Structure 1
Amino acid sequence: MIVCGDDALAERLAAELRDLYRSQVTIVVPAAGAAAEPEPAVTGRLRAAALLGRVQAAMNRAAPAADDSLPGQAPRVMEAPVLDEDALLEAGVLRADALALVHDDDETNIRAALAARRLNPRLRLVIRLYDRRLGQHLAQLLDQAAVLAQPGLDPDALDTSTTVLSDADTAAPALAATAVAGTSKVVQADGLLLRAVERHPPGRGEVADPGICTLALLSSTTSDPAGAEGSDASGRDGPLLLPDDRTVAASTGRGTVVLDTVTPAGPVPPPRRLSGRALPFGSLFSRRLRWSLAGLVICVLGLALATWATTENHPLRAGYLTLLDLFAIDDPAIGEPAARQILQLLTGLAGLLLLPVLLAAVLEALGTFRTASALRRPPRGLSGHVVLLGLGKVGTRVLARLHELGIPVVCVEENPDARGIPLARRLRVPTVLGDVRDEGVLEATKVHRAHALLALTSHDTTNLEAVLYARSVKADLRVSLRLYDDAFATAVYRTLRSAHPRALTRSRSVTSLAAPAFAGAMMGRRVLGAVPVERRVLLFAAFDVAGQPQLEGRTVAESFRPGAWRVLAIDSTAPHERRPDLTAAPEEERTGAAPTGLVWRLHPGYVLRPTDRVVVAATRQGLAELLGHRPGTRDAARH
């Protein structure tokens, strides 16, 4: 396995491959001189050694407690000034089973993927891309290139695949769930959409809806400020993945994550664009101006009715005379009855009031058009909202998720050119530009009236400083920090819990949530997606029953191993008509015109046959065993 990258995701991914799958790993890192911001004090050799040390530390953190087997071979770390064909050849791409390109730069990953596919058409590629639509087109292109490079082989028999993943998409549902309970998580793999929903414990006399099946039991301390959560290590009170029915029935008072619906995934709707034609009336004129204009209209109508009632004119002529008086273009009512003279004076006064209102409307409309692309400021009476710190890749996805859930959000971002600024502008989300550590920035977000604070910047110390200051403003504020180092996260959690025992504190690591999905994808095209459950990850994969001793010849109930894997669905399509990849759905299935062929509500006594293909939910350890890499054995079978 080859991992190209030098950030936290590369470290966690290498640890995952080595620890769970017992794979030989080569890590390719940029040379010190190739970085965008050179570090003259750190040479390339020291940089590689530092990365190797961090990988070893990540392995120690991720190692299962019950695993007493010998550790896998230590990763090989090499430097490459440019990730070109020569660097890939030196890393062993011709002999490799899979290549993961997890650089933070999409262009670097795309260039390396094209080069790697030319060098080794059989290579499994896992690419980290933020742009979803570009990722879909790139995966189709690279898979087509792999088939054309091997004309004599059946495409269905190829173990070649291209998987495009985003760490931000994987972690966003879990991060959003820390701000509000009861959120849903979606696994979308082009032609397949699985929706996992968090549900509160049923009250007295209520019956819990298990959905299709129960995927996980949430921590017993999910809503308890004094709970044991706080790091990426799972405690005894942590979440239970894939529990059996008896455990679910006995675990009263704990929330659940259930598989709710499975539907064909429709086409991705185009993003809404803010244009002058789409601007609503309310965004052009303020509420005070609208009320003033409405009052004048009512006043003019009243004067027109009074003119009609006091004269013998036709209603239309009465209205016409009122408008003439309003715009001061009618003759003075000299010699007319007193009522007519009084009404003319009142109408003239209304006309004087109308002029500044019209002028204000014009100026405000022009100003609105000029600032239509500007960021909104938090409203004065805002309360019960979520304060989101950081609009990078992760923060942008979390903002989109919270907006879909209808949760009011106020964002804080230091960089005016950050990735999430255009999204915040398009969604009209209030945003404060400034350093969160500066005085007055958090106060501008109305944090004293907020429901929760999500600190998602890429700097642990910045997140901690913001949380400490927010807690000094509102002691019971619900906070969630994005922290990488597990020991640091534990220390932060314990300190905050001691200082604020009644406030809920949670920590999340984006890389720990995303690394299992990347590692599973490197083992083959069978991984469909991942669902984060608190600090752990549940993977969805497709397997052919043939050659799987844990599945073949067993009933659905017998194949279920609590805490490891569970068969969710069976592909009812005939073997000769199946697609090699469940994620490559035809157009008619994406639009819902044709069924997917998957049967989800299975009879427990159904015997799995060698010709069956099943969809399985598995933990990290369970997936490793199903793929033939058992953490408890010294020499795992090579995939």
Structure 2
Amino acid sequence: MIVCGDDALATRLAAELHDVYGERVTLVVPPSRSSESVSLPPTVARNRIRASVLFGRVSAAITRPDSADDVGSSGEFLLPVRELEATEPSEEALREAGVERAAALALVYDDDETNIRAALTARRLNPRLRLVIRLYNRKLGQHLEELLDQAAMVAMPGLTSAALDASTTVLSDADTAAPALAATAVAGTSKVVQADGLLLRAVERTPPGRGEVPDPGLCTLALLSSTTNDPAGAEGSDNSGVQGPLLLPDDAAVTAATGRGTVVLETVSYAGPWVPPRRLVGRGASLGEILSRRLRWTLAGVAAAVVALAVASWLTTGDHPLHAAYITLLDLFGIGDPAVGEPLVRQVFQLMAGLVGLALLPVLVAASLEALGTVRGAHALLRPPRGLSGHVVLLGLGKVGTRVLARLRELDIPVVCVEEDPEARGIPLARRLRVPVVVGDVTQEGVLEAAKVHRAHALLALTSADTTNLEAALYARTVKPDLRVALRLYDDDFATAVYRTLRAAHPQALTRSRSVSTLAAPAFAGAMMGRQILGAIPVERKVLLFAALDVAGHPQFEGRTVAEAFRPGAWRVIALDTAEPAERRPDLAANRPDDGGRTVAGLLWDLHPGYVLRAEDRVVLAATRRGLAELLGRRSAPRPDPRTS
């Protein structure tokens, strides 16, 4: 396995492949991101082969394993991680990393163009290579997947993509982590994994009271740790080193775990992008968006006066009702002739209609100006409304913040954004969704107050600076001590210290610290193992993966019932793909349109425990990282440690 990158995701991904899946990994990083300047995970840092690729020269220093950490948790001897320095993922660097013999290559540079250029080169060097590419642009990613898979087929004609095992998976760390970050900030909502039309929801349930029957949902994904609400506990930060929750428990464990909360799975049908209630004028805007309430009442009063005059004219003059209304409108707009020589009643009605017409003129001018202001305001950033409360304050509209904003609005959760840069990536999305935005530095006094943080339900700090996120969280807690806070922090030790301190100082408030690279690494690693990862859901400090798997070739499933295929703590079948094998798409996340133009997932969620899985079936699994590694058969048989043999 080869991992190429220039930030924390690359090092975490290398650690995931080495520690969880037991793979031989080559990590390619720029010289400035070598192990002296990057805090590698402990196992990777102790077990590395370092090489430098600079100006075409290669030098390597091999270190032998010298600690018990070099032996995998399952007992086998793990080869160390090979670290290789390269200024860019050029053809020379990829060849030196062994791309021609590799099974998979992950390109996780922060720059999309760098990843695309390296992917094209790698596909040419090794058509069988499995590619996992980090791209923020989802539409471009879809086209790139098709292009690279087609290139592999052309390079090796006569073989199918499945036979070649040459697949391309484009993932975004922001998309992978955004559902978890959005769910962390909102009480009572779910942890969500979304891939286009597929939406899974993991709901935290509090322990049932005496005599209450717990709702199991589709299945129970996890039992929460007993220290979830303990201020002295260590839950809430990444890699805190404390024993976590129980993932994928069986029914006996769920029944015996009294007093512990659970995480259950639900499915949510999603029929397309969320349509904001406030739309642009000219695209189905309501009358309330164009005219204010006071102006609407004024227009209604004028209309009532005109109707009353028309009815009175009809009753007193004996004219036809339509003629009476016509004459009244002529008088109203000053078009009719003066009623000289007419009966007194007619003259009085003409004067009254003229007065109503004088009142109508400023009302029409005001309505025109208000409609014009609505049209112009549709292209401007909104300010938080006065009575807003119970909302989420989102700090930062960069790559991650933009994706989180979209997820929050899909869940119909009110949001107020705070962004220092008026040209930030997420500003156009906020303007299109009509989300209020406060432009300013969150560390400056008055900015969070403008976002109504004192009446907010949660604060989600997602800027790229740890100190900015921490400062905003501490200040918000002084304004509202019970505010729910979720921080994006890079350093795990720092995150753990911050979490414990905030939780001890505010035991009644919920605090969470999350790392985007930690949340995204399991999904990238799973995709490198050759299966389409649909998403990942964090459960306290652990992660559950959702993956599509063909039953054929897996004795753990083939010929067994759904109940028999369930292995507590490792994997569980949660859905069945009902589409015919010839009609299945490689990516379950990309739903197929039916004849009516709608999208159908083709997944059966309410599976009977007695259903016997066949070789031609494809299932959706909830699995732990180690469980998925075992299913993929990537771990070798335990080998003796050479130091003791």
- TM-score between the two structures when normalised by the length of structure 2: 0.83
Q: Distance in 1 between matches of 2:198 and 2:426?
A: 26
What's 2:34 paired with?
Answer: 48
Q: Is the 8 A contact 1:225 1:505 kept in 2?
A: no
Indicate which of 136, 139, 142 corresponds to 1:133: 139
Q: Is the 8 A contact 1:20 1:631 kept in 2?
A: no
Q: Distance in 2 between matches of 1:394 and 1:6?
A: 17
The 5 Å alignment of 1:19-168 reads: 19-30=19-30, 44=31, 47-56=33-42, 67=73, 72-168=78-174
2:329 paired with 1:316: no
Q: Distance in 2 between matches of 1:65 and 1:305?
A: 96
Q: Is the 8 A contact 1:198 1:255 kept in 2?
A: no
| AA of the residue aligned to 1:20 | V
Q: Distance in 2 between matches of 1:519 and 1:64?
A: 20
TM-aligned CA deviation for residue 599 of structure 1: 8.3
What's 1:217 paired with?
Answer: 223
Sort the Cα spacing of 1:379 and 1:617 in 2 relative to 1 into closer, same or farther, 3 A.
Answer: same
What's 2:476 paired with?
Answer: 470
| AA of the residue aligned to 1:49 | S
Sort the Cα spacing of 1:72 and 1:299 in 2 relative to 1 into closer, same or farther, 3 A.
Answer: farther
| AA of the residue aligned to 1:517 | A
The 5 Å alignment of 1:272-283 reads: 274=280, 276-283=282-289
Q: Is the 8 A contact 1:389 1:395 kept in 2?
A: yes
Q: Distance in 1 between matches of 2:413 and 2:403?
A: 14
Structure 2: segments with no counterpart, 5+ residues: 47-68
TM-aligned CA deviation for residue 468 of structure 1: 1.1
TM-aligned CA deviation for residue 198 of structure 1: 0.9
| AA of the residue aligned to 2:223 | L
Q: Distance in 1 between matches of 2:640 and 2:551?
A: 23
2:616 paired with 1:616: no
Sort the Cα spacing of 1:452 and 1:579 in 2 relative to 1 into closer, same or farther, 3 A.
Answer: closer
Q: Is the 8 A contact 1:200 1:254 kept in 2?
A: no
Deviations 1:36-72 (A, max 9, x none): xxxxxxxx4x542335543448879xx9999385884
Identity %: 69
- TM-score between the two structures when normalised by the length of structure 1: 0.84
What's 1:33 paired with?
Answer: none
The 5 Å alignment of 1:346-425 reads: 346-425=352-431
| AA of the residue aligned to 1:423 | L
Q: Distance in 1 between matches of 2:345 and 2:230?
A: 73
TM-aligned CA deviation for residue 124 of structure 1: 0.7
Sort the Cα spacing of 1:611 and 1:106 in 2 relative to 1 into closer, same or farther, 3 A.
Answer: same
Indicate which of 430, 434, 457 corresponds to 1:451: 457
2:35 aligns to what SS in structure 1?
helix
Q: Is the 8 A contact 2:76 2:640 kept in 1?
A: no
2:186 paired with 1:180: yes
TM-aligned CA deviation for residue 630 of structure 1: 4.5
| AA of the residue aligned to 2:300 | A
What's 1:35 paired with?
Answer: none
Sort the Cα spacing of 1:440 and 1:361 in 2 relative to 1 into closer, same or farther, 3 A.
Answer: same
Q: Distance in 2 between matches of 1:519 and 1:288?
A: 59
TM-aligned CA deviation for residue 150 of structure 1: 1.4
Q: What's the Cα RMSD here? A: 3.8
2:299 aligns to what SS in structure 1?
helix
Q: Is the 8 A contact 1:14 1:55 kept in 2?
A: no
Deviates more, 1:468-477 or 1:564-573: 564-573
TM-aligned CA deviation for residue 452 of structure 1: 1.0
Q: Distance in 1 between matches of 2:589 and 2:181?
A: 29
Sort the Cα spacing of 1:8 and 1:286 in 2 relative to 1 into closer, same or farther, 3 A.
Answer: farther
Deviates more, 1:351-360 or 1:77-86: 77-86
Q: Distance in 2 between matches of 1:427 and 1:178?
A: 22
Sort the Cα spacing of 1:593 and 1:370 in 2 relative to 1 into closer, same or farther, 3 A.
Answer: closer
Deviates more, 1:115-124 or 1:229-238: 229-238
Q: Is the 8 A contact 2:225 2:260 kept in 1?
A: yes
TM-aligned CA deviation for residue 631 of structure 1: 9.7
Q: Is the 8 A contact 2:576 2:607 kept in 1?
A: no
Deviates more, 1:627-636 or 1:46-55: 627-636
Q: Distance in 2 between matches of 1:435 and 1:105?
A: 26
Q: Is the 8 A contact 1:513 1:536 kept in 2?
A: no
TM-aligned CA deviation for residue 587 of structure 1: 4.4
Deviates more, 1:215-224 or 1:391-400: 215-224
Q: Distance in 1 between matches of 2:195 and 2:435?
A: 29
Q: Is the 8 A contact 1:572 1:598 kept in 2?
A: yes
What's 1:628 paired with?
Answer: 633
2:444 paired with 1:438: yes
TM-aligned CA deviation for residue 584 of structure 1: 8.7
TM-aligned CA deviation for residue 99 of structure 1: 0.8
1:142 aligns to what SS in structure 2?
helix
- Equivalenced residues, count: 615
TM-aligned CA deviation for residue 195 of structure 1: 2.2
Q: Is the 8 A contact 2:391 2:414 kept in 1?
A: yes
Q: Distance in 2 between matches of 1:96 and 1:65?
A: 23
1:50 aligns to what SS in structure 2?
coil
Sort the Cα spacing of 1:586 and 1:193 in 2 relative to 1 into closer, same or farther, 3 A.
Answer: closer
| AA of the residue aligned to 2:298 | S
Q: Is the 8 A contact 2:592 2:601 kept in 1?
A: no
Q: Distance in 1 between matches of 2:426 and 2:514?
A: 20
Deviates more, 1:564-573 or 1:581-590: 581-590
2:293 paired with 1:287: yes
What's 1:524 paired with?
Answer: 530
Q: Distance in 2 between matches of 1:367 and 1:92?
A: 62
What's 2:266 paired with?
Answer: 260
TM-aligned CA deviation for residue 176 of structure 1: 1.7
